[in-house]
Amino acid sequence: MLNADDYKAAAEREASLRREVEELRRVGLEPEEVGLRDYFRNSAVLREALAGFDTVSVRGGNVFILRRALRQSGADELIKELLASDAVVYAGYSAGPCMPGPTLRGIGGFEDGPGVVASG
């Protein structure tokens, strides 16, 4: 899930996605992007989309934008359910591991400013 980069321009976000996919393929993984914007207010369809995966990897970027995308798509609750039933492994770095925590209190800075908004 690359939604933590939703504040970037489309070309910059696409370059970041390409780089991420190439790095994961080099270590033998077969990544597939699931963009949460496609599932805002449609968590039933997102549930179907995630059904075939055994790992959910949530990468870095802006923590607050990522949290919004998880909430608006219902992925926050869905991922909790999948983890509770041992259906997936949760992985990620930077903003990704901040999501399962009880709060985002203490997170901030240039990249993670709560005032940053998603692009168009």
- Residue 48: pLDDT over 70: yes
Residue 44 is assigned to a structural domain of this protein:
yes
Record the pTM: 0.83
Give mean pLDDT, residues 30-39.
93
Evaluate whether 60 touches 27 at the Cβ level (below 8 Å): no
Q: CATH number of the domain that 87 lies in?
A: 3.40.50.880
Least confident of 4-18, 34-48, 93-107: 93-107
Domains identified in the chain, total number: 1
Residue 86 is assigned to a structural domain of this protein:
yes
Residue 110 is assigned to a structural domain of this protein:
no
Structural domain of residue 94, as residue ranges? 3-98
Residue 117 is assigned to a structural domain of this protein:
no
Which residue in 110, 94, 115 sits closest to 16, CA to CA?
94
Give mean pLDDT, residues 11-31.
94
SS3 2: coil
